[in-house]
Amino acid sequence: MTTSPARAVPVSVVKRSAHAVAQAAGRLTAGARVTPSFLIVGAQRCGTTSMYRALARHPLVLKPNLRKGVHYFDMAYQRGAAWYRAHFPLEATAHRLERRYGMRPVAFESAPYYLFHPHALTRAARDLPGVKLIVLVRDPVERAYSAHAHEYARGFEPEPSFERALALEEERLAGVAEKLAEQPYAVSHAHRHHAYLARGRYAEQLARAEALVGRDRVLVVDSGHFFADPEPSYDRVLEFLGLPRLGDPLFERHNARPRPAPLPASLRADLTGRFAIWDHRLELWLGTRPSWRP
């Protein structure tokens, strides 16, 4: 009698199972877990993963247990507070670190859709009193081009032409923000994956954040400066969070996508002009001209 060779279980299945077990255990102890003191809320394709990983190495910063972005305030709010808290470390862990370093650690997550989603920041401001928000920004033209390459590679964007995707954006997003505002638990594929220009109007989104938590609890980081010389930007973040410089941060670029071709000069010039007013308003947040503006 012959036996068939055992089939290997796909890694994705194993990871999902492990996550399910960890999630179930987390919910049972939700009341004994920390909640975030700060959030990296965007913008998409602006270096949020790199900042997340640098901060996660700090001894007094507690990251989520399973993934960098829980996406509770945008995509999973109906699951409830216990589900959210289940993603974070135990209070006992925080107490051990506090005894060791003489300072209370802070927990966080990073979800770049929070900045753009119509309900996410409102929910976060209400559920996490005193929460601080970190926003990374980059050249919105490059951000849009990078986002298109990213969404296309992941299969979320069927249109291979960046220029054609831009032409479709207004039609794709027509009425979507209003629908999301009216239906708290509604989701929109187009709003999340096809807002190439809309997500680059940073000042518009920052105005909403300021109204919800106040300007003093929002820090905007120019990712052009962060990648060119990360130490000063990192130190500004630590100062904003009230944390000392401890440990050895690691600064790396993550999630870069190859471009199909250089962006045509005419298209770049057109988009740069469209973003001019928004980049100008961003100066009030940065205290200087954005790194991508001469």
- Indicate the pLDDT class of residue 4, thresholds 50, 70 and 90: very low
Distance between CA atoms of 33 and 35, rounded to whole angstroms? Answer: 7
Res 58 pLDDT > 90: yes
Render pLDDT for 88-129 as a digit per residue (tens, 0 to 9): 999 999 999 999 999 999 999 999 999 999 999 999 999 999
Domain borders along the chain are: 28-286
Res 1 pLDDT > 50: no
- Residue 122 CB contacts under 8 Å (≥ 6 apart), including other chains: 212
26 vs 43, which has greater pLDDT?
43
Confidence at residue 288, expressed as pLDDT on a 0 to 100 scale: 96
Distance between CA atoms of 273 and 143, rounded to whole angstroms? Answer: 15
- Which of these, 200, 194, 192, 115, lies nearest to 148 by C-alpha position? 194
Question: Phi and psi at residue 30, in whole multiples of 5°?
Answer: -55, -40
Sheet holding 132-137, edge to edge: 61-62, 106-110, 38-42, 132-137, 218-222
Type of residue at 7:
R
Distance between CA atoms of 237 and 68, rounded to whole angstroms? Answer: 18
Render pLDDT for 191-205 as a digit per residue (tens, 0 to 9): 999 999 999 999 999
- Indicate the pLDDT class of residue 275, thresholds 50, 70 and 90: very high
- Residue 203 CB contacts under 8 Å (≥ 6 apart), including other chains: 278, 281, 282, 284, 285
Confidence at residue 13, expressed as pLDDT on a 0 to 100 scale: 47
101 and 254 in contact (C-beta within 8 Å)? no
Secondary element (H or E) of residue 190: helix 189-193
19 vs 209, which has greater pLDDT?
209
Read off the pLDDT of each residue in 243-254 and give the average, rounded to a whole number: 86
Which tokens sit at 286? 């940065």
Which tokens sit at 122? 């409102």
Q: At what angle do helices 276-286 and 202-213 cross, to 10 degrees?
A: 40
The torsion region of residue 155 among left (phi > 0), alpha (psi -120 to 50) and beta comes to left
Confidence at residue 153, expressed as pLDDT on a 0 to 100 scale: 95
Confidence at residue 186, expressed as pLDDT on a 0 to 100 scale: 95
pTM here is 0.90
Which tokens sit at 235? 């130190």
Read off the pLDDT of each residue in 148-162 and give the average, rounded to a whole number: 97
93 vs 10, which has greater pLDDT?
93
Secondary element (H or E) of residue 135: strand 132-137
Please, how many CA atoms are within 13 Å of residue 106, restricted to the half-sphere of its CB?
21
- Residue 188 CB contacts under 8 Å (≥ 6 apart), including other chains: 176, 179, 180
Distance between CA atoms of 235 and 248, rounded to whole angstroms? Answer: 12
Confidence at residue 252, expressed as pLDDT on a 0 to 100 scale: 80
Classify burial at 72, counting beta carbons within 10 Å of its beta carbon; exposed 0-12, middle 13-18, buried 19 or more.
buried
- Which of these, 39, 41, 54, 42, lies nearest to 227 by C-alpha position? 54
Q: What is the mean pLDDT of the chain?
A: 91
CATH no. of 28-286:
3.40.50.300
Read off the pLDDT of each residue in 273-283 and give the average, rounded to a whole number: 98
